[in-house]
């Protein structure tokens, strides 16, 4: 590889810091074409001062204040976590609401995908047999049944992509009447009617649990319930589950992909293992793709409350009306209280990996994270675990925790997941395909068989945000139409992670 020119990335004209783009970082004394000289070694993704700072001076990235200088910092010095004082989060009572609602971009015509049409009006991107559960107690038995179904039955039904057990830790031993129990309960109910299950779902319950198996059986067909306490032991349970699974596999096998409008797509966006490039490569490119999707009629979910909280003043102006604005603020307030109750705050979000990747604090992380939302108007806000109701850009409130966010987006009806990563995670879901976008070319190269799209080319100048945005948009359509992502090729399926803020008993 040719030794690269020293390169920094400055995002906004107003910025007084920039990040070092070169793989491996740059050494003391490095001189940039503009004349800036590094006063010390700076790792890749970390910030260099573009000006001199006195103590208390604002540090600006993405055109926003990410903090204040803890001490004097000289031009060319490394601006580290320890040199930045965390600012107060935006005051939730002083936010401008719907003051700059973006006008709708011109519709994007001529795009469709090959998917499955469901009776309830939703669209599937995969043809899965879903087996949902009302309580963790049944998971051990169901696992054995599912292994046998995959081995003995699934090969006979080639049009069915997979069998998915919706296992979780909820259902009993929980304070099911506590106010916040509504979150895990509606999550499980909405997961059970996921569009990729094509209206077929089998519910396995125990019989004495707090969450009733009937409450997960949307269609109310007695035949779709297996309550283990009604059966004559293990062998009888396994045989029953397999028999009922095969009936459903037969029906699912009849389904065919057909041309579907992009309004059938519910694309969930998320980042995980972020670094300082997330906000300049992968996330803006995903944001560009989000705008294309919205223009084409799709629903786009962005999430991760703790990564939105510090940038919420940039989002409330973008909502379509007062009601959506207040809903957004309500979710922020709820989460502030939730963290406070557990004696934590938003500063608990960045991980050691984020920091190693150059993200100094949650403000900087949030500014990079919301780039995924593109520039459209925010048409709706969903509390955790609720199903989408509107087309366009929607804020689905979730923790930033990767699989908790993914699970809640699935409950919202997500049928394609787009996941950006800087440090790298082999993330995969069983219920919907996951498209992984790397923020850096080094990661895309190193994890050649895990990363679907390399957005690092934006940092090296070999591709533009627009180009990668279109690439992601087309990749989403191909994926929705049946093309298997890298994670799917290997069969990487992380477990569901429910969000249960209510107590265990």
Chain residues 295-334 in contact with a copy of itself, contact rule CB under 8 A: 306
Side-chain-facing half-sphere of 45: CA atoms under 13 Å: 27
Q: Judged by CB under 8 A, does residue 428 bind a copy of itself? A: yes
Find the binding residues for a copy of itself in span 439-468 (CB under 8 A). Answer: 446-450
Find the binding residues for Ca ion in span 397-456 (CB under 5 A). Answer: 400, 402
326 binds, among a copy of itself, Ca ion, none (CB under 5 to 8 A by kind): none
449 binds, among a copy of itself, Ca ion, none (CB under 5 to 8 A by kind): a copy of itself
Find the binding residues for a copy of itself in span 357-376 (CB under 8 A). Answer: 357
Find the binding residues for Ca ion in span 374-403 (CB under 5 A). Answer: 400, 402
Find the binding residues for Ca ion in span 476-495 (CB under 5 A). Answer: 495
Spatial distance between the Cα atoms of 350 and 482, rounded to a whole number of angstroms: 35
Q: How many chain residues interact with a copy of itself (CB under 8 A)?
A: 83
Q: Judged by CB under 8 A, does residue 503 bind a copy of itself? A: yes
271 binds, among a copy of itself, Ca ion, none (CB under 5 to 8 A by kind): Ca ion
Structure tokens at 153: 């039955």
Q: Judged by CB under 8 A, does residue 499 bind a copy of itself? A: yes
As a whole number of Å, the CA-based R_g of the chain is 24
Q: Of the listed pieces 50-58, 100-108, 112-120, 204-212, which binds a copy of itself according to CB under 8 A?
A: 204-212
Q: Judged by CB under 8 A, does residue 264 bind a copy of itself? A: no
Q: Judged by CB under 8 A, does residue 215 bind a copy of itself? A: no
**Which residue has 């509107």 as its token pair?**
390
Spatial distance between the Cα atoms of 453 and 485, rounded to a whole number of angstroms: 10
Q: Which of 96, 208, 247, 250 binds a copy of itself (CB under 8 A)?
A: 208
- The CA distances from residue 461 to 8, 16, 18, 379, 464, in Å, are 11, 21, 16, 34, 7
Q: How many chain residues interact with Ca ion (CB under 5 A)?
A: 8
**Which residue has 């990996």 as its token pair?**
353
Find the binding residues for Ca ion in span 283-312 (CB under 5 A). Answer: 304, 307
DSSP character string of 459-495: TTTSS-HHHHHHHHHHHHHHHHTTPPPHHHHHT--BP
Find the binding residues for a copy of itself in span 112-171 (CB under 8 A). Answer: 136-141, 143-144, 167, 169
Cβ proximity to a copy of itself, 12 vs 505, nearer residue: 505
Q: Which of 269, 266, 303 is nearest to 414 (CA)?
A: 266
Least spacing, CB of residue 359 vs a copy of itself, in Å: 11
Structure tokens at 55: 């103590």
209 binds, among a copy of itself, Ca ion, none (CB under 5 to 8 A by kind): a copy of itself
Q: Of the listed pieces 67-75, 84-92, 207-215, 242-250, which binds a copy of itself according to CB under 8 A?
A: 207-215
Q: Which of 285, 240, 261, 250 is nearest to 438 (CA)?
A: 285
Find the binding residues for Ca ion in span 305-344 (CB under 5 A). Answer: 307
Indicate the burial class of 449 (C-beta count within 10 angstroms; 0-12, 13-18, 19 or more).
Answer: exposed
Q: Element (H or E) spanning 238, and its range?
A: helix 234-253
Q: Judged by CB under 5 A, does residue 469 bind Ca ion? A: no
Question: With left for phi above 0 and alpha for psi between -120 and 50, is residue 176 left, alpha or beta?
Answer: alpha
Structure tokens at 333: 């307030």
Q: Are the CB atoms for 274 and 420 separated by under 8 Å?
A: yes
CA torsion sign for 463, 275, 1, 50 is positive
**Which residue has 């962005």 as its token pair?**
302
Q: Judged by CB under 8 A, does residue 490 bind a copy of itself? A: yes
Q: Judged by CB under 8 A, does residue 401 bind a copy of itself? A: yes
Instruction: Using CB under 5 A, list all residues that contact Ca ion.
Output: 270-272, 304, 307, 400, 402, 495
């Amino acid at each position: 590889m040719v030794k690269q020119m020293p390169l920094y990335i400055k995002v906004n004209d107003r910025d007084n810091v920039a990040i070092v783009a070169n793989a491996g970082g740059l050494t003391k004394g490095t001189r940039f074409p503009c004349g800036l000289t590094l006063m010390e070694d700076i790792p890749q993704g970390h910030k260099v001062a573009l000006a001199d700072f006195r103590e208390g001076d604002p540090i600006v990235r993405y055109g926003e204040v990410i903090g204040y200088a803890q001490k004097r910092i000289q031009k060319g010095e490394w601006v580290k976590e320890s040199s930045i004082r965390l600012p107060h989060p935006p005051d939730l009572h002083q936010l401008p609401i719907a003051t700059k609602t973006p006008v709708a971009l011109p519709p994007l015509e001529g795009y469709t995908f090959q998917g499955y049409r469901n009776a309830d009006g939703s669209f599937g991107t995969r043809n899965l047999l879903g087996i949902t559960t009302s309580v963790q107690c049944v998971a051990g038995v169901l696992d054995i049944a599912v292994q046998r179904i995959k081995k003995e039955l699934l090969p006979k039904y080639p049009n069915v992509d997979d069998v998915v057990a919706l296992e979780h830790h909820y259902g009993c031993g929980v304070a099911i009447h506590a106010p916040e129990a509504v979150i895990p309960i509606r999550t499980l109910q909405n997961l059970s009617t996921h569009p990729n299950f094509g209206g077929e779902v089998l519910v396995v319950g125990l019989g004495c649990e707090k969450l009733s198996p009937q409450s997960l059986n949307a269609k109310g067909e007695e035949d779709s319930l297996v309550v283990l306490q009604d059966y004559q032991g293990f062998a009888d349970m396994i045989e029953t589950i397999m028999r009922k699974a095969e009936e459903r596999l037969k029906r699912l096998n009849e389904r065919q992909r057909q041309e579907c409008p992009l309004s059938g797509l519910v694309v969930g966006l998320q980042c995980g293992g972020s670094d300082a490039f997330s906000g300049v490569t992968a996330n803006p490119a995903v944001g560009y793709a989000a705008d294309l999707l919205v223009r084409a009629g799709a629903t786009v979910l962005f999430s991760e409350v703790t990564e939105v909280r510090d940038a919420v003043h940039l989002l409330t102006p973008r909502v379509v009306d007062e009601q959506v604005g207040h809903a957004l603020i309500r979710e922020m307030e709820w989460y502030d209280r939730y963290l406070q109750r557990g004696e934590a705050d938003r500063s608990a979000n960045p991980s050691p990996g984020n920091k190693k990747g150059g993200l100094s604090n949650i403000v900087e992380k949030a500014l990079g994270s919301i780039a995924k939302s593109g520039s459209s108007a925010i048409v709706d806000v969903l509390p955790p675990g609720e199903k989408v109701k509107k087309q366009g850009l929607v804020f689905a409130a979730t923790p930033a925790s990767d699989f908790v966010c993914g699970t809640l987006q699935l409950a919202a009806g997500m049928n394609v997941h787009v996941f950006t990563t800087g440090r790298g995670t082999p993330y995969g879901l069983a219920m919907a395909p996951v498209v992984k976008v790397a923020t850096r070319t080094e990661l895309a190269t190193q994890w050649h068989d895990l990363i679907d799209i390399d957005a690092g080319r934006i940092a090296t100048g070999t591709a533009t945000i627009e180009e990668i945005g279109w690439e992601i948009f087309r990749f989403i359509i191909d994926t929705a139409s049946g093309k298997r992502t890298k994670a799917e090729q290997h069969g990487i399926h992380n477990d569901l992670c429910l969000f249960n803020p209510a107590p265990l008993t």
